[in-house]
Amino acid sequence: MKNPLLLKYRSWALVCITLTCIIGVLFLPAIPQLPGYHGLADDRSLLGIPNMLNILTNIPFTLVGIAGIRLLAKEHALNVLVELKPCYYWFFTGIAGVGLGSIYYHSDPSNDTLLWDRLPMSIAFMSFFCIILGEYVSIKMAKSLSYPLLLVGAGSVLYWWLGEKQGHGDLRIYGLVQYLPLLLMPVILLIYPAKFSHGNRYWVFYGLYGLAKVFEIADLPIYQLLGFISGHSLKHLAAAAGCAVFLSQLITRKAH
């Protein structure tokens, strides 16, 4: 893979996928928030608190986020790229924020409370993508793209929310922020060499996040089948488990 021509084509593969997705999404009509989005299967209350299980299953996000921030603050506790240390901080801060924001959302589901769930989520998506870029493709590229991508991520959520306020919400850009990195990540893992050991755990992270999306889609059928927990609650647990796997990777891996 050290052949300059192969290196060039690897880069172009990522560029082509990115441009194809962006152009394709721009040709789609605006995608508003579905009216029934906030009607989750499990709305049981406990101690007067509605959607209690959906609230409780968000706690692992915040715990993993706080643990990651604390370990990053300790020298040599985590094996990270020093040049991209802010991205790791942004990721774990975003994950901690996802837990808190999602708790706030589930306490009173609406577009206004969903804003505070999606904002930290977009920060986690973009910072994680920059980490992958730095660890596999180019540290310099990841560093230069980090803050622009964070702004795009946060901007995509604000764009959707402000649009909903005016009656014409549009989730297309937020969809790109969430799903384009998920499309590019396995390609990057396959065609670029890793700078650290235990790179296989990224596949575990990827699989758990994919499982979380399946749980989200099958919210009601899972609740009807199991009776005690919904797909949405399982989504929280699967996604938080993926973040915990990433944190464990940072603890155990070694630089090549």
**Residue-wise pLDDT tens digits, 223-243:** 999 999 999 999 999 999 999
Distance CA 194, CA 212 (A): 26
What's the whole-number mean pLDDT along residues 133-146? 95
Count the Cβ atoms, other than its own, within 10 Å of residue 24: 11
Amino acid identity of 18? T
- Measure the CA–CA gap between 195 and 142, rounded to whole angstroms: 14
Label residue 1 by pLDDT band (50, 70, 90).
very low
Give, in order, the Cα–Cα distances in Å from 195 to each of 126, 139, 174, 189: 20, 10, 30, 11
- Please tell me the number of Cα atoms within 13 Å of 204 on its side-chain side: 14
Question: Which single residue is written with the structure tokens 């622009």?
Answer: 148
pTM of the prediction? 0.93
Please identify which residue in the block is written with the tokens 């099958």. Answer: 218
Q: Which two tokens stand for residue 228?
A: 């005690």
Section 211-226 average pLDDT: 96
Cβ(88)–Cβ(80) below 8 Å: yes
* pLDDT at 9 exceeding the cut of 90: no
Pull the structure tokens for residue 165.
Answer: 């306020």
Ranges 14-23, 72-81, 240-249, most confident: 240-249
49 pLDDT band, cuts 50/70/90, is: confident
CA-to-CA separations, 81 to 28, 125, 139, 162, in angstroms, rounded: 38, 18, 8, 36
Long-range contacts of 68-75 (CB under 8 A, 24+ apart): 68/92, 68/95, 68/243, 68/247, 68/250, 69/93, 69/96, 71/247, 71/250, 71/251
**pLDDT tens-digit series, residues 83-132:** 999 999 999 999 999 999 999 999 999 999 999 999 999 999 999 999 99
pLDDT of residue 5: 57
Percentage of the chain beyond pLDDT 90 is 84
Residue type, 235: K
Cα distances (angstroms) measured from residue 204 to each of 208, 211, 239, 249:
6, 10, 11, 11
Q: What does the block give as tokens for 9?
A: 């084509």
pLDDT above 80: residue 163:
yes
User: What span, in angstroms and rounded, lies between the C-alpha atoms of 155 and 222?
Assistant: 33
- State mean pLDDT over 53-70: 97
pLDDT at residue 75, rounded to an integer:
85
